Chains A and B, each alone.
Chain A
Amino acid sequence: MIAWGTILTIVSSLIFPGIVIKTKATLEGRKGPGLLQPLFDIGRLLRKGSVYSLTTSLIFQIAPVIYLASVVVAVFFIPFGEAPGLLSFECDFVFFAYLMAIGKFVMIIAAMDTGSGFEGMGANREALYSMLVEPAFFILMGSMALLSKSITLHDFYTNLYSGSHLTYLLVVVGIFLLIEIMLVENSRLPVDDPKTHLELTMVHEVMVLDHSGFDMAVIHYTTGLKFALFSALIANFLIPAGASLVVQSIVFLVVQGGCAIVIGISESFRARNKMSKNPQWILTLSATALIVFLASLILTHKFILP
């Protein structure tokens, strides 16, 4: 049953983008495409061949596959209820974070490889936002380590509620932070708008402009998988300990669907930030995570000064 969480994450990643699109369409008063339409689009792209510019090198060709591989391996670390992920070791959350960073790094150098000024600009912005959101993720993980007195991703969730009941309140803020981190990591509103058509205002979309066919399908699928990955992190906060596998699976899938709906609602009503406002908005996430960390220190009676 160790692989059950991984299987569920991969299954939910298939319809995650569909739920987001459907929610947005419903709120806009449109019928919208079916839940599986993004999957059909990926299937159509997979059947096409990729076209490579003569200015690009091997890096550009292998980047989408490395991007997918890094996220797939990161999924292996996601625990499910009391069961650890397929891979689990001490301080695995650091490895998890840097796996995500590897994927982003190869996509950034692939964008630079095209020699396009627009793609370089998008890569520059993506690197900045990733750098700014990283402290928020690590401070949040540090808080969880403090509260659960453990250093593996699996133990974070199993030991989290064993201390003070006030932990539940911190978890609410933690879930809010993870949702916002998910939006930044996946380049969605309010940081980036995937629907924008002006290269000057794009962040992630401009980076992948030169990819086509199979590579584009891989990139699209990886986006859905990253959504499911972060939603799985959120779902683990809410999966009831000691419940049957069926109940845990239902809770997991409901949270996945809930996250997709929340993103759809947020993208329907939220305006995109001005480009110059993005760094300070992302920094606010780190500042909020810092508050959670300080509260965790107080809860666990860890006094820094003598």
Chain B
Amino acid sequence: MIFFFIILFAISLIYLALTERVARFITLLIIQGILLAGIAYWHLKHIDVIHLSFILLETLVVKSIGIPVFLNYLRKRNRLNRLNESKVPTFVSILILSAGLVFGFLLSNYLQDTHIETIFFAVAISSVIAGLFFIISHRNVFTHLIGYLVIQNGIFLMSLSVGAEMPMLINNAILLDLFISVLVLGIFINKVGDTFQNLTVDGLSQLKH
């Protein structure tokens, strides 16, 4: 089952490049959160109940419900419908993300460490690449936030790929980091939206005057 969820997670990365509607971005993040919860449950079901419940709470409640609800609030408040301001054509984006997947696969092959599970690692690396690419190829702050969350999902998957159980402290740190970042960026988006009437980062250069 883990295998299937990871495949679906990888497909969701490709569809992220195809998407333009903000609501669809949020739906994809919800799907990724649910998939990560499924992967974490099947992968870590042998660990103690408290740790497992915490991880499931983190993926299901925070990633699939909390953050998407907040993003939806931002979308409505700033009247965001479409994000088609990418500097790179979608066709090229899909090619680059596919190349990212191949790179992730080759890297995990190259490492061939017994502690690394190939498919986890390949998709995790691809997710990080996809998130980074997303941030550098878009001008909109909202898309940067989406890219950041995709990187975060990749890091979560990577922590599962190394096979070790995630200590509670690291989990707490990741969760806190995620929460604060989304909150800060959310407030930032609202302020940018109020001041410049659109969310492209080009407008930020006016601040220096």
Q: Taking the complex as formed, is A183 at the interface, i.e. its CB lies under 8 A from any CB of chain B?
A: no
Q: Is the CB of B14 within 8 A of A291?
A: yes
Q: Number of contact residues on A: which range applies?
A: 20 to 34
Cβ of A290: which chain B residues have Cβ within 8 Å of it? 98, 101-102
Q: Which residue of B lies closest to A165 (CB)?
A: B3
Q: Which residue of A lies closest to B117 (CB)?
A: A298
Q: Given A288, A294, A295, A304, which contacts B3 in the complex, CB threshold below 8 Å?
A: A295
Q: Is the CB of A287 within 8 A of B98?
A: yes
Chain B window 58-97, contacts with chain A (Cβ cutoff 8 Å), 1 for yes, 0 for no: 0000000000000000000000000000000111001101
Q: Taking the complex as formed, is A297 at the interface, i.e. its CB lies under 8 A from any CB of chain B?
A: yes
Q: Is the CB of A291 within 8 A of B112?
A: no
Question: Complex Cα distance A253/B119, Å?
Answer: 37
Q: Is the CB of A304 within 8 A of B109?
A: yes
Complex interface: stretch among B4-12, B21-29, B132-140 = B4-12
Question: Complex Cα distance A173/B5, Å?
Answer: 11
Q: Secondary structure at chain B's binding surface: helix, strand, loop or mixed? A: helix
Chain A window 266-306, contacts with chain B (Cβ cutoff 8 Å), 1 for yes, 0 for no: 00000000000101110110111011101101100001110
Q: Taking the complex as formed, is A172 at the interface, i.e. its CB lies under 8 A from any CB of chain B?
A: yes
Q: Is the CB of B101 within 8 A of A294?
A: yes
Q: Taking the complex as formed, is A241 at the interface, i.e. its CB lies under 8 A from any CB of chain B?
A: no
Question: Complex Cα distance A274/B102, Å?
Answer: 29
Q: Taking the complex as formed, is B187 at the interface, i.e. its CB lies under 8 A from any CB of chain A?
A: no
Question: Complex Cα distance A185/B51, Å?
Answer: 50
Q: Is the CB of A303 within 8 A of B112?
A: yes
Q: Is the CB of A283 within 8 A of B7?
A: no
- A142-170 residues with Cβ-Cβ distance < 8 A to B are 166, 169-170
Q: Number of contact residues on B: which range applies?
A: 20 to 34
Cβ of A277: which chain B residues have Cβ within 8 Å of it? 90
Cβ of B109: which chain A residues have Cβ within 8 Å of it? 303-305
Query: Would you give the shortest CB distance from B117 to chain A, in whole angstroms?
Result: 10
Q: Taking the complex as formed, is B47 at the interface, i.e. its CB lies under 8 A from any CB of chain A?
A: no
Q: Is the CB of A291 within 8 A of B18?
A: no
Question: Complex Cα distance A298/B112, Å?
Answer: 12
Question: Complex Cα distance A286/B118, Å?
Answer: 22
Cβ of B91: which chain A residues have Cβ within 8 Å of it? 279-280, 283
Q: Given A173, A297, A305, which contacts B7 in the complex, CB threshold below 8 Å?
A: A173
6 contacts between A and B (CB under 8 A): A284-B94, A287-B94, A287-B98, A290-B98, A294-B105, A298-B122
7 closest A-B pairs by CB:
A169-B4, A287-B14, A280-B90, A287-B98, A280-B91, A291-B10, A305-B109
